[in-house]
Amino acid sequence: MPIDVSGDTDGVLLEAVAQGDVQCFERLYARFERRMYQYALNFVRDASSAEEIVLDSMLAVWNGAVGYRRSAQASTWVLGIVRHKALDAVRRQQRHKAQVALDLAAEVADASRGPYDSANDATVGDVMQRAMRLLSEEHREILFLTFTRICRTRKSARSCLFRKIQQRPACTTPK
């Protein structure tokens, strides 16, 4: 039975994707691609890895759309897939980090910089990226949710995150 996509909401599009509608999948991809990319980039901090996560996530959306239930917003469901893919990528990156043997440590250049050097060439973006790296993963996600207006306030972003962590139903954007 074909689904009426004239309303064209994300949930309706996902239901059509579950039935194999390629055009609805393309519309859904166009709607979510940028948000998915930004969300993934927030985790992995690498453009090519973020792009790969978006592709893997959209493949998971295509294959898993039959499992979507309207109890959550479509955006929450899709971004949840991105989050899991991104966390998997971060775990893989951490496993493959290069370690320097103690006998070679003397050959590694001293990366410390003086305060004059740091102040001289730091940009606002550099400062923000360093500050974000100091935050826990949960705090970075709260900021992301707040500033991308997925959740409208810091309090709702925080409760959104904690609900996700506690495996409760995902938050909905306040109207």
Listed ranges 6-10, 50-54, 125-129; the one with the highest mean pLDDT: 50-54
What pLDDT, on the 0 to 100 scale, is given for residue 25? 93
Kindly give the residue spans of alpha helices, DSSP state H, lying in 45-171.
47-64, 74-95, 115-121, 124-134, 137-147, 154-165
From the list 157, 173, 174, the residue with the least C-alpha distance to 73 is 173
Domain that holds residue 44: 1-94
Flag whether 100 is in a domain. Answer: no
- Pair (59, 140) in one structural domain: no
User: In this structure, are 162 and 86 located in the same domain?
Assistant: no
- Position 55 scores a pLDDT of 94
Query: Averaged over 21-50, what is the pLDDT?
Result: 93
Give the pLDDT band (50/70/90) at residue 104. low
**pTM, full prediction:** 0.54
User: Is 17 domain-assigned?
Assistant: yes
Total tally of structural domains belonging to the chain: 2
Both 85 and 16 in one domain: the answer is yes
Q: Which domain-ending residue is among 72, 94, 116?
A: 94
State whether 15 and 88 are in the same domain.
yes
For residues 18 and 147, what is the distance between their CA atoms, to the nearest angstrom? 31
Is the residue at 57 inside a domain? yes
Above 70 in pLDDT, residue 74? yes
In a domain, residue 124? The reply is no
Query: Average pLDDT over the chain, rounded to whole?
Result: 75
* pLDDT over 70 (residue 86): yes
149-163 pLDDT, tens digit each = 555 555 565 566 555
- Is 123 inside any structural domain? no
Query: Rounded to the nearest 5 degrees, what angle is found at the Cα of 8, between the Cα atoms of 7 and 13?
Result: 130
pLDDT tier at 92 (50, 70, 90 boundaries)? confident
Mean pLDDT of 102-128: 55
- Summarised one tens digit per residue, pLDDT across range 124-139 is 566 677 777 888 877 7
Domain annotation covers residue 174:
yes
Single residue among 94, 122, 150 that ends a domain in this structure: 94
Same domain, 62 and 139: no
Mark whether 144 and 88 lie in a shared domain. Answer: no
Quick check: is 114 in a domain? no
% of the chain with per-residue pLDDT over 70: 58
- What is the pLDDT, as a whole number, of residue 22? 92
From 41, 69, 94, the end of a domain falls on 94
| Residue 90 and residue 16 in one domain | yes
